[in-house]
Chains A and B, each alone.
Chain A
C-alpha cells in the first residue's frame, strides 16, 4: 500500500502545481511601481498641443491613467467599456497616448469615442518606460497623494472593472 501512496502523493502535488501554473497569466507581471509615487512627467495634450499635463495637476484626486494607442488592437477591445464607464463620471480617466501619430490618435478618438478628460502625448515612449509599460493597454489607479495603487495590464474587462478597479477607487475616494 505504501508503495503506491508516495508516488500518488507526488503526482497529486505535481498536478496541483501545474493546474495553478496553467491558470496564471504570464503577462501579469507584478509592477514594482505599486504603492510608489507615480513618476513625474510633463507632456503636451493631444487635443490642445499648447497645454501640458503633469500628474501633479491631479493631486488630491483619485484618477486613472490609461495607456493607449491607435495601433493597439487590444485598446479597441477595451475602448467601448471605457467610453461607457467614463459617462458615469465616477473617476477621471487620463489617456497616455503611447508612441502614436497625433493625426491617427485624433481620428481614432473621433471614430470610437473619447473617454478621456484629455490625453497626454508620449510620442517616443519615454514616459511609458518610466511607468514600466510593456503591453498596451495598461491602466493605473492613482490615489489622492499621487501614489500608484494598482496596475492593470491588458484590456480592462467588465469583470476587472467591477471587481478590482471600482472597489479600489471607492475606497481611495473616501
Chain B
C-alpha cells in the first residue's frame, strides 16, 4: 500500500515536470498563430483562426537568413574541426616523437580555457587579421576552441583501435596518410558521428563570439540574429513567437529523429573521462 502511494506521488511529480517542460513550448506555438490583441486577451486558448502571417513575416524578414548563416557556420566549423582534429589525434595516438607529451598537454589544457577569458584580445586580433564581421573568422575561432575536446575524444577512441589492420596496410605499400584515410577514418565512424553531433549543438547555439565578432545583420547566426530581430519587431509579440518556433525547428527535429545518437554524442566526454 505504502509502495503504491509513493509510486503514485512520484508519478505525479514526473508528470508535473513533463507539463513544466512542454507547456511553455506549446504555449509559444499556439500564441504564434494569434494576433497581438488575441495574445493579450486570451493567451490560453487554441486559436480558432490560425494566423500564418506571423510565420511568413518572420521567415521573410530575417529568420530564413539566420538559419542559412547558422547552417553555413556550423557546417564550415565541423568540416575544419573534424579534419584538423582527426589529423591531430592521429599524430598523437599513432606516432612517437619528441615533445609529444608536452604538446598533448598543451592541447588538453585548452579544455580548461573558456571563450570569455580570451574575448577581448581576440576582438582586436580578429580585426587586425581582417576577419571581423565574417563567417570565416567565426569558423576559425570556433575551430580553435573546439579542437581540444575533439582531439581528446578522438585520441581516446583511436588508441582502442588495434594496430594490425594498419600494419597490413603499411605492408601493402600505403604511406601513413593513406593509412589515416583508408584505415583510421573508416574505423572511427562512430566516434566521428558522436563528436559531430556534440560539436554541432555547441556551434549552432554559440552566442558570445557571434555577438562580438559579427556586425552585419545579413551575416548573423540564429542566436544573435534573433536579438536584432526582436528589436526590429518592437511590440509585434506574436511575430517574435513565430520566429522562435521557426528558429527552434531544425534542431528540435534533428533531436527528435535521432534521440539516441544525440544523447550518446552529448555524453561522450563524461563517459570516457
Chain A partners chain B: no
A interface, CB within 8 angstroms of B: none
